[in-house]
Structure 1
Amino acid sequence: MHETAYEITTLNPQQPTAHPAMLPNEIPPGVQIVTLPGGARTLAYTPNQAPPAPPVPVAQPIPAWAKTTALLTPTIGGGIAAAGIGISYAAPGLIAMSEALWAAVALIAAGAVGVPLLLRLGRSAAGNGRGTTHITQHISAPGMFGKATGTINHR
């Protein structure tokens, strides 16, 4: 393949131009007007400028709450470990206490059922009506705001 070589020429400022100069808004992006060492001005592609470097982060002091938390962490962990050991030692006693509580609940339930039953047996053993008292009341109050009066009969 044969490549065509092009000759680049520039106009001296003293030479008249056949074409008028380009306006700045007509220049495409990436192209600038440059002045060559001989004084001639021409358009040239310019390399893209590197973006500015990001700012270097500044070290910030550690907040007081973070220091406090870091110092308390071993203490809290030690407390939890001690509680776990204490519970493991106390487990047999806790089991015994829970069994004793269930026994107490059973005793209370038996008492709630057994005491009325014993009282009924005691009344029936005393005979028909002997040992029992019947109380009757008669209360009356005349009108809406009348004074209440009543009688109590023991038989």
Structure 2
Amino acid sequence: MPHPDPPTVQQPILAPHEIPPGVQEVILPSGERALAYSTEPALAPPPLPVSAPPAAQPIPAWAKSTALLAPTIGGGVAVAAVGLSAAAPGLEAASHVLWSTVAVIAAGGAAAAALIGRIKARATAAQRPHITQHITSTGLFGRANGTINHR
């Protein structure tokens, strides 16, 4: 039994305004019409007519205040730099004094902790009781008896 021919599908015909940009309608050598992508770049739209330049817009208030503050802030930074450079020897000496003070405090704290530890050890050694236990039992499952001595 021979196979039937496949049914032919009628493609819808698009109106020229429905064809997307970059796609063209072409006629194939067989006479059939088809849509194809264009390999040539699309033409640029015509330039807009030259009109009058746009009107100048006023400068916003925040831009004006920022522009006025910039030299003031820069001057303040410059004065602070000059002041720090003049005070540098004194600041260096102050930092040495601070580091020395920190070292003395740390050494004193360590010495105080060691001294307190020794005093506390002597005080608790005299008060610590000595405990002894004597436990006896007879047999594997016998009852255990014991004594505890505190001295």
Q: Report the TM-score range of the alignment, normalised by the length of the smaller protein.
A: 0.3 to 0.5
- TM (norm. structure 1) is 0.43
Structure possessing the higher relative contact order (Cα contacts under 8 Å, 6 or more residues apart): 1
Report the structure number with the largest CA radius of gyration: 1
